């Protein structure tokens, strides 16, 4: 009896021992698992800490820039409405408006007079600081230009807003943490936010900021904060009342080519060639006249008074303000579905008056006029190549911007975000050809080219230096 009891007790002890051992093993495995998870999270935090901080900063920048962009854009819409209603009263004051713009910059912003050039210089490491006062000066200057009937865009101000805000936010972040190449990263983030907040095209804004500083090179190190800031700015500005331009062009036209044969592609390429040349000429002539007027007129006040008067006369002669402002009225006419609303010479006059306005010292951007020039040109070229005018206008909208700004991916994406993603194959072909045939001319004079072909003189110098080295 005792023997039996002993065996039962021993069995219980063995069972107890086995269960205890299993518990210990399970606890050990759990502890090891916790340690491994903790180590993994520690590694992830260490590796992505800076990225996480930049993403948070991107949200802050995007919201701030979106608010300012919304205020600027709504104010610009109000200026446009007032100018349209009282055009014959306001156009006479265009020269005085130019003098007013010169005065406020002369008194309060001599150091920020070259706004976009300063932005590029910060991005390229030639400068480190963007004063925040460039924001109100650029806003007031652009409002003035549009109110009194000048032909100019608006994105230059938006990009300056984003760049100035992000530059100042970046300096605050730099005091807390040390992030490699943070100056350029924050600048790109701000540029993306500024473009996106005004046009409400976040994808196009991201790649515009990534590729505009150096043509032929993408700044992927700024991809995450630029993406976050771009999306935040677009949502913020739209929530505050700004609206994006969008029309699903293929659904509107019911235009679905069954086959993309060689002839079809050649027609697209030919249109891309035309758009590329026009965008390149816009940038080239604008740069030339800015230098020409700077040497021709001894005083900036004299320049803006004389040229402002000339522009005002032209605006009154040519369809009473049809070519004033950003050109959004012309873009709307291209897609209203009514024939004979666009004249064959609209793109030429819009191009000429925009160049004159910006060369004379008025404040404004170049991108929005490029949209209108391209739309009007495409509307005319479309039937020549056997396409619907609206289809041609959509292609011109993106590809003239592509050529003028020397940015490929941004142009393709601004096209698909404005006209539908089903247009991607067409925009890809036309913008690619337009990009190839713009001869590296750009509306952004401070833009750097990643790959350039050396001139004959440079090649001769290199050969002579090589011979000297060999002889020595």
The 10s digit of each residue's pLDDT in 198-219 is 999 999 999 999 999 998 888 8
Looking at mean pLDDT, say which of 4-13, 33-42, 119-128, 132-141 comes out highest: 132-141
Based on the number of CB atoms within 10 Å of its own CB, is 94 exposed (0-12), middle (13-18) or buried (19 or more)?
Answer: buried
Give 113's DSSP letter: S
pLDDT band at 8 (very low <50, low <70, confident <90, very high): very low
Q: Which residue, chain included where needed, has tokens 């005065």?
A: 103
Q: Which residue, chain included where needed, has tokens 């520690």?
A: 42
On the question of pLDDT at 455 being above 70, the answer is: no
CA angle 461, 466, 469 (to 5 degrees): 125
pLDDT of residue 370: 97
Give the tokens for residue 62. Answer: 């995007």
Query: Do 275 and 438 contact (CB within 8 A), yes or no?
Result: no
Task: Determine the 3-state secondary structure of 387 from DSSP.
Answer: coil
Residues 6+ apart with CB under 8 A from 243: 200
pLDDT band at 1 (very low <50, low <70, confident <90, very high): very low
Give the tokens for residue 353. Answer: 């008056």
Other CB atoms within 10 Å distance of the CB of residue 249: 23
- C-alpha 186/C-alpha 225 separation (Å) is 8
Give the tokens for residue 301. Answer: 């006040």
DSSP assignments along 283-341, one per residue: HHHHHHHHHHHHHH-S-HHHHHHHHHHHHHHHHHHTTTTTT-BTSHHHHHHHTSS-TT-
CA-closest candidate to residue 77, choices 221, 254, 198: 198
DSSP assignments along 227-256, one per residue: HHHHHHHHHHHHHTT-------HHHHHT--
Query: Do 376 and 347 contact (CB within 8 A), yes or no?
Result: yes
Considering all CA atoms of the chain, what is the largest pairwise distance in Å, rounded to the nearest integer?
125
Q: Which residue, chain included where needed, has tokens 């630029």?
A: 226
More reliable by pLDDT, 169 or 414: 414
Residues 6+ apart with CB under 8 A from 302: none
Query: Do 413 and 212 contact (CB within 8 A), yes or no?
Result: no
Other CB atoms within 10 Å distance of the CB of residue 109: 18
pLDDT of residue 43: 65
pLDDT band at 243 (very low <50, low <70, confident <90, very high): confident
Name which CATH class applies to 56-239: mainly alpha
User: Would you say how long the chain is, in residues?
Assistant: 472
Other CB atoms within 10 Å distance of the CB of residue 312: 22
Give the tokens for residue 390. Answer: 């609206």
On the question of pLDDT at 2 being above 50, the answer is: no
Please tell me the pTM assigned to this model: 0.87
Query: Do 189 and 57 contact (CB within 8 A), yes or no?
Result: yes
Task: Determine the 3-state secondary structure of 318 from DSSP.
Answer: coil
Least-confidence region, from 8-12, 278-282, 405-409: 8-12
Which superfamily does 249-449 belong to? Clc chloride channel (1.10.3080.10)
pLDDT of residue 323: 96
pLDDT of residue 4: 45
- C-alpha 356/C-alpha 353 separation (Å) is 5
Write the pLDDT tens digit of every residue in 18-36. 556 665 666 666 676 677 7
For the chain, the average pLDDT equals 87
Please state the three-class secondary structure of 326-377 as a single string: CCHHHHHHHCCCCCCCCCCCHHHHHHHHHHHHHHCCCCCECHHHHHHHHHHH
Residues forming CATH 1.10.3080.10 domain(s) in the chain? 56-239, 249-449
- C-alpha 18/C-alpha 21 separation (Å) is 5
pLDDT band at 141 (very low <50, low <70, confident <90, very high): very high
Q: Which residue, chain included where needed, has tokens 């490491």?
A: 125
CA-closest candidate to residue 274, choices 376, 356, 408: 376
pLDDT band at 272 (very low <50, low <70, confident <90, very high): very high
Query: Do 287 and 445 contact (CB within 8 A), yes or no?
Result: yes
β pairing state of 448-449 and 214-215: parallel
CA-closest candidate to residue 163, choices 109, 118, 96: 118
Query: Do 74 and 242 contact (CB within 8 A), yes or no?
Result: yes
């Amino acid at each position: 009896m005792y023997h039996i009891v002993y065996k039962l007790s021993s069995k219980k002890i063995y069972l107890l021992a086995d269960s205890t051992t299993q518990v210990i093993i399970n606890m050990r495995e759990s502890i090891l698992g916790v340690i491994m998870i903790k180590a993994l999270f520690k590694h992830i935090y260490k590796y992505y800490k800076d990225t996480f901080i930049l993403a948070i900063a991107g949200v802050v920048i995007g919201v701030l820039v979106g608010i300012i962009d919304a205020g600027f854009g709504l104010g610009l819409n109000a200026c446009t409405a007032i100018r349209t209603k009282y055009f014959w009263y306001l156009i006479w004051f265009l020269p005085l408006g130019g003098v007013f713009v010169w005065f406020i910059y002369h008194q309060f912003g001599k150091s920020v007079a070259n706004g976009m050039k300063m932005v590029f210089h910060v991005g390229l490491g030639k400068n480190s600081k963007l004063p925040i006062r460039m924001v109100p000066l650029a806003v007031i200057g652009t409002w003035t230009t549009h109110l009194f009937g000048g032909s100019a865009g608006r994105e230059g101000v938006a990009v300056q807003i984003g760049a100035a805000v992000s530059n100042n936010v970046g300096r605050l972040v730099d005091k807390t943490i040390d992030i490699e190449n943070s100056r350029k990263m924050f600048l790109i983030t701000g540029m993306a936010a500024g473009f996106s907040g005004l046009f409400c095209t976040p994808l196009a804004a991201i790649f515009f900021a990534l590729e505009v500083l150096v043509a032929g090179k993408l700044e992927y190190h700024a991809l995450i904060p630029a993406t976050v800031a771009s999306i935040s700015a677009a949502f913020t500005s739209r929530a505050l009342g700004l609206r994006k331009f969008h029309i699903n062009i293929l659904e509107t036209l019911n235009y679905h080519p069954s086959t993309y044969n060689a002839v079809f592609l050649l027609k697209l390429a030919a249109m891309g060639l035309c758009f590329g040349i026009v965008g390149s000429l816009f940038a080239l002539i604008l740069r030339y006249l800015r230098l020409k007027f700077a040497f021709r007129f001894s005083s900036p006040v004299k320049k803006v008074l004389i040229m402002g008067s000339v522009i005002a006369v032209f605006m009154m002669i040519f369809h009473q303000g049809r070519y004033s402002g950003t050109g959004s009225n012309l873009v709307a006419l291209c897609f209203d579905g009514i024939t004979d609303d666009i004249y064959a010479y609209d793109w030429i006059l819009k191009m000429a008056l925009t160049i004159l306005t910006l060369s004379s010292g008025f404040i404004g951007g170049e991108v929005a006029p490029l949209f209108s020039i391209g739309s009007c040109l495409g509307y005319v070229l479309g039937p020549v190549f056997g396409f619907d005018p609206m289809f041609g206008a959509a292609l011109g909208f993106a590809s003239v911007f592509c050529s003028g700004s020397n940015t490929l991916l941004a142009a393709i994406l601004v096209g698909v975000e404005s006209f539908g993603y089903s247009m991607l194959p067409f925009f890809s072909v036309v913008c690619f050809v337009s990009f190839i045939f713009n001869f590296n001319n750009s509306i952004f004079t401070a833009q750097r080219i990643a790959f350039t072909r050396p001139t004959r003189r440079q090649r001769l110098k290199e050969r002579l230096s090589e011979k000297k080295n060999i002889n020595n």
